[in-house]
Structures are given as C-alpha cells and as structure tokens.
C-alpha cells in the first residue's frame, strides 16, 4: 500500500461539510487555520520527543535548549526565517491590500479622466445598438 499525501488531502468525510458562519470564506479560513494548528501540535510533540531523547541519552539537557542564546549569525537567520514565514502566512492579506491599492489608483485615474464603468457600459450599449 502506497501513501500519497495529495490523494489523502482529497479525502472527504461523508455528508455535508458543517457550516458555522454566514460567510463561507470564514469557514474556509477556519478550516485552514485548524489544519495549521494541528500541524503545529504534531511538530511541537516531535520537538518534545527529540529533546527528551537527547536528554535521556546524555547528549543534551533540556535546560541547555531553554538557555540557548543564538549568536548574531543565528539570530539573523532566525529573523529572516520569521519574516519569510509571516509573509507566507499573511500573503492573502498582503495581496488584498495590493489589490485594494490598485483598485483605488484605477478609480482615481478614472475620475481624473472622467471615465466610469457606467459611462463605458453606456458607450458599449450604444455602440452595439448602432452596429
């Protein structure tokens, strides 16, 4: 038996997916967030296991991990990783902000040119009517 994570991701529970919020996007976001929380819990347990095994074998004491202070290079690497991580997580919001800014610029440009969607639609209807 082979394990294909992509196939597994497509598995569905029987019945309809429960809906908790009026907005389906909110339900979708909650599902994604809970999946990430589950992954984090599993990763946390694995780190805990590694720490306990290292301590049990006398390789490293957990207090060393708690007291570890990264040097400048390690701190810089961690800082960059955190920035990239946060950027990936908040990518959707960043894209929405960029889209909002683009839309606002387009609206401002249309106002400057005295053009509106309504005007363009009216022109299109008139053009179709005369053709």
Residues 6 or more apart from 117 whose CB is under 8 A from it? 110
Residues 6 or more apart from 26 whose CB is under 8 A from it? 20
For the ranges 90-94, 103-107, 112-116, which has the lowest average pLDDT? 112-116
Residue that is written with structure tokens 């306990």 in the block: 52
pTM given for the model: 0.52
Measured in whole angstroms, the distance separating CA 126 from the mean position of its chain's CA atoms is: 45
Kindly state the average pLDDT of the residues 115-120. 65
Average pLDDT, the chain: 84
- The DSSP annotation for 34-96 comes to HHHHHHHHHHHHHHHHHHHHHHHTTS--HHHHHH----HHHHHHHHHHHHHHHHHHTHHHHHH
């Amino acid at each position: 038996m082979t394990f294909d994570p992509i196939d597994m991701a497509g598995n569905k529970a029987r019945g309809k997916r429960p809906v908790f919020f009026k907005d389906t996007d909110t339900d979708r976001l909650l599902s994604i967030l809970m999946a990430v929380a589950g992954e984090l819990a599993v990763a946390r347990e694995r780190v805990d296991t590694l720490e306990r095994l290292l301590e049990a074998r006398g390789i490293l004491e957990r207090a060393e991990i708690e007291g570890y202070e990264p040097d400048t290079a390690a701190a810089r690497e961690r800082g960059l990783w955190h920035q990239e991580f946060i950027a990936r997580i908040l990518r959707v919001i960043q894209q929405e902000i960029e889209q909002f800014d683009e839309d606002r610029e387009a609206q401002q440009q249309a106002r400057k040119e005295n053009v509106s969607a309504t005007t363009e639609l009216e022109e299109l209807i008139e053009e179709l009517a005369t053709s």
